[in-house]
């Protein structure tokens, strides 16, 4: 797997950041999470005047062989149909990106369809969908490495435009199944607590999904390493997003983490490079069963809880105005030292 040089932000600037935040014209701590966010971004960027520039939402799409086992209510063709829909501008993530000033980047990581050229979709296709991990490894180690590298390449492209804050989304029928497997593998949470309804399974459907994933785990024939299990139970869009997150952290970008599926990706990233979490802001706690547990396992405190389960990066983009408020707070509020207001705390 490609290696990354991800270091924890230099903590020597922390006292100066805290002093600046504490001496803004407000009671100490009165802006709560906004103060925490300003501190985090200041540490990431190593400045007392952090900025957010040219936000991008990168959406990776791919198909999954495990859908052959009936673990999703969404037909396989929905993946490419929705990806095409995104390119025309009428989906949920489109209005959110437009509303909050994000550029939407669409990436074909492994969709089971030949997407026509000229639709603004970046072709990073590894294969037309993963294999069925109940029967065999979803992807080879070579394919995993390729996904990590291609995800990093997409981040390089947006970074060159001046982007320093990035969110990630996904599209792929059945992709809560590999996400549940990654959650179990990288957090140790029992598998039955990692599985939910996905795109809308009923109670019997969830039980069937648990049965399929349990049998998949029992049938695993790899070497037991984290990298091997990541490939065996993975998805092309998940692996590509993981590589993208690692590269974003290496470049010192702010990473806005979306819901259940993207949280499973950063859990995988953090297994190999724990410092990636220092660059992450968790946008929201989704409605998928297990997401709260995974956030807790990562020590994450999400900004929103809106019962979202759309994916696509929607929760991360929705949370962006809160992050922007934190940056405006540290940069635009006066200090007690600069105005005629008695320090009242």
Give 42-90 as a DSSP string: HHHHTSSS----S-EEEEEEE--GGGGGS--SS-TTHHHHHHHHHHHT-
Please, are residues 52 and 119 in contact by the beta-carbon 8 Å criterion? no
Max Cα-Cα span within the chain: 71
- Sheet of 121-123, strand order: 121-123, 103-110, 56-62, 165-171, 254-257, 280-282
Residues in the chain: 345
Smallest CA-to-CA distance from 3 within 277, 298, 187, 227 is with 227
Give the Cα separation of 166 and 164 in Å (integer): 7
312 tagged catalytic = yes
Give the Cα separation of 124 and 129 in Å (integer): 12
* Positive/negative CA dihedral, 80, 81, 87, 90: negative
Residue that has been written with the tokens 């037309």 in this structure: 128
Up-side HSE of residue 197: CA atoms within 13 Å toward CB? 12
Which residues are known catalytic residues?
A: 312
């Amino acid at each position: 797997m490609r290696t990354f040089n991800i270091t924890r932000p230099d903590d020597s600037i922390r006292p100066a950041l805290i002093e600046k935040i504490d001496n803004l014209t407000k009671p100490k701590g009165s802006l709560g999470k906004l103060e925490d966010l300003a501190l985090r971004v200041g540490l990431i960027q190593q400045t007392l005047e952090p900025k957010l520039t040219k936000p991008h939402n990168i959406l990776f799409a791919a198909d999954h062989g495990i859908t052959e086992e009936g673990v999703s209510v969404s037909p396989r063709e929905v993946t490419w149909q929705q990806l095409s829909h995104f390119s025309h501008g009428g989906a949920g993530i489109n209005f959110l990106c437009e509303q909050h000033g994000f550029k939407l980047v669409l990436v074909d990581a492994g969709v089971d369809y030949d997407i026509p050229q000229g639709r603004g979709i970046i072709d990073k296709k590894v294969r037309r969908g993963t294999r069925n991990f109940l029967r065999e490894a979803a992807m080879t180690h070579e394919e995993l490495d390729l996904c990590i590298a291609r995800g990093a390449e997409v981040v390089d492209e947006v970074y060159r435009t001046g982007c320093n804050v990035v969110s990630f989304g996904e599209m792929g029928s059945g992709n809560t199944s590999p996400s549940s497997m990654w959650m179990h593998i990288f957090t140790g949470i029992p598998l039955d607590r990692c599985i939910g309804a996905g795109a809308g399974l009923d109670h019997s459907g969830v039980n069937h999904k648990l049965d399929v994933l349990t049998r998949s785990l029992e049938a695993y024939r790899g070497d037991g390493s984290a990298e091997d299990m990541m490939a065996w139970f993975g998805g092309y869009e998940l692996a590509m997003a993981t590589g993208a997150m690692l590269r974003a952290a290496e470049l010192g970008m702010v990473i806005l983490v979306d819901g259940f599926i993207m949280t499973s990706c950063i859990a995988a990233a953090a297994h190999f490079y724990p410092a990636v979490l220092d660059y992450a802001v968790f946008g929201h706690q989704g409605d998928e069963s297990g997401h709260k547990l995974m956030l807790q396992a990562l020590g994450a405190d999400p900004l929103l809880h809106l019962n979202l389960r759309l994916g696509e990066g929607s929760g991360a983009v929705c949370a962006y105005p809160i992050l922007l408020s934190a940056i405006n707070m540290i940069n635009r509020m006066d200090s007690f030292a600069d105005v005629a207001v008695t320090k009242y705390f």
